[in-house]
Every structure is written in structure tokens, then in C-alpha cells.
């Protein structure tokens, strides 16, 4: 009878697991090389998170800087428009079209080369149209407007608004 109780007590003690912190039991089962590999992987994860955070902060800083510079540019353009509207006695349609085209292009941060290639117009010709030195045909104006992401009708409305501002 005594041997039976001894066997039962050893079986019961073997089946009852001691209270161990979660995760600690797994670490005890690993070899030293495996532990180093786990630690290295954890460090890599932490480094990757830190790098992502730094990258996101840099992107946000660039975006804020870009917004600030756009605000400065917009303020300077508004001041230039007010000054220009005082000095323009007889505005031309050619000049208003050029002004609107340049304004649309600069708002999108696009170069003359990008717009001219997309519109199928030579760079020099587009530059002359923007400066009000050349008159573009309706087909070319449509092509340029579409390359800037607006329709010809929208472009002409903007030109009409510009002429109204200058006439007032």
C-alpha cells in the first residue's frame, strides 16, 4: 500500500506544472545559440521600428517645410499680382493666357519640359506662350490645358477671371 501511495505522489507531482512566467519557459528550452538568434532578431525589429519612425518624422518635416514654402510663395504671388494689376493699363489676352498657364504649371510644381513633352509642344514655344509673346492656336491651348489637368473651357474661364481682375 505504501508503494502505491508513493507512486501516486510522484505521478501527481510530475503532472502538476510549476508556475512559470509566460515566455520564460520557452527561453529555458532554447540553446545558447538560439537565444542569441532570438535576441538579435528582437534588436533588428527595434532598429527597424526606430528607422521607420525616423523616416516618418523626416517625411512629415519635409511636408511641413513644403507647406510653409508654398504659403510663402502664395503670399509673394498675391503681392506680385496686386502690384502687377496696378501697373497693367491695357492687359492683353495673350498675356492673360500666359499668366494663367504659368500659374497652373507652377502650382503643380511641374517644369516647362514636363508640360511641353506631355502637350506635344516645343519647350521654347511654350515658354513664349507663357510670357505672352506668342499666340497659341485653340488646338495647342487645348493640348497644353489637358497636360496641366484642366479642360480648355476651365482654362478660358480662368483667363476671363484674370482679365476681370486686371480690368477692375
Chain segment 89-133, per-residue pLDDT in tens: 567 889 899 999 999 999 888 999 999 999 999 999 999 999 888
Question: How many folded domains does the chain comprise?
Answer: 2
Angle ∠(15,18,23) on CA atoms, nearest 5? 115
How far is residue 141's CA from residue 145's CA, in Å, rounded to a whole number?
6
3-state class of 23 per DSSP? coil
Contacts of 55 (CB under 8 A, 6+ apart): none
Final residue belonging to a domain, choices 53, 68, 87: 87
> Of all helices (H) and strands (E), which one includes residue 131?
none
- pTM, entire model: 0.49
Alpha helix positions (H), the chain: 2-15, 24-29, 32-87, 93-107, 112-119, 123-130, 138-147, 152-167
| DSSP three-state, residue 89 | coil
Check residue 141 and give its pLDDT.
93
Does 167 lie in the same domain as 103? yes
**For 30, which DSSP code?**
S
| Residue 111 and residue 48 in one domain | no
Domain assignment of residue 30, yes or no: no
Identify whether 116 is part of a domain. Answer: yes
| 136 and 101 Cβ atoms separated by less than 8 Å | no
Tell me, what's the pLDDT at 152?
92
Residue 91 has a pLDDT of 77
Domain hosting 46: range is 42-87
CA-wise closest residue to 167 among 99, 92, 78 = 92
Are 165 and 112 in a shared domain? yes
Instruction: Please tell me whether residues 75 and 114 are part of one structural domain.
Output: no
**Residues of the chain scoring pLDDT < 50:** 14
Distance CA 47, CA 41 (A): 10
* Residue 166: per-residue pLDDT: 81
Q: Are residues 79 and 98 both part of a single domain? A: no
Indicate whether 113 and 80 sit together in one domain: no
Amino acid at each position: 500500500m505504501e508503494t502505491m501511495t508513493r507512486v501516486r505522489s510522484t505521478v501527481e507531482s510530475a503532472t502538476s506544472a510549476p508556475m512559470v512566467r509566460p515566455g520564460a519557459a520557452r527561453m529555458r528550452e532554447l540553446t545558447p545559440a538560439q537565444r542569441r538568434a532570438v535576441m538579435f532578431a528582437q534588436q533588428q525589429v527595434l532598429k527597424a521600428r526606430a528607422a521607420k519612425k525616423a523616416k516618418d518624422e523626416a517625411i512629415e518635416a519635409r511636408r511641413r517645410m513644403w507647406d510653409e514654402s508654398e504659403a510663402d510663395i502664395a503670399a509673394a504671388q498675391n503681392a506680385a499680382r496686386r502690384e502687377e494689376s496696378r501697373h497693367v493699363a491695357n492687359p492683353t489676352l495673350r498675356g492673360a493666357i500666359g499668366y494663367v498657364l504659368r500659374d497652373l504649371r507652377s502650382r503643380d510644381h511641374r517644369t516647362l519640359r514636363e508640360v511641353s513633352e506631355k502637350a506635344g509642344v516645343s519647350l521654347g514655344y511654350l515658354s513664349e506662350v507663357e510670357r505672352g509673346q506668342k499666340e497659341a492656336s485653340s488646338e495647342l491651348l487645348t493640348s497644353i490645358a489637358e497636360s496641366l489637368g484642366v479642360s480648355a473651357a476651365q482654362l478660358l474661364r480662368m483667363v476671363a477671371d484674370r482679365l476681370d481682375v486686371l480690368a477692375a
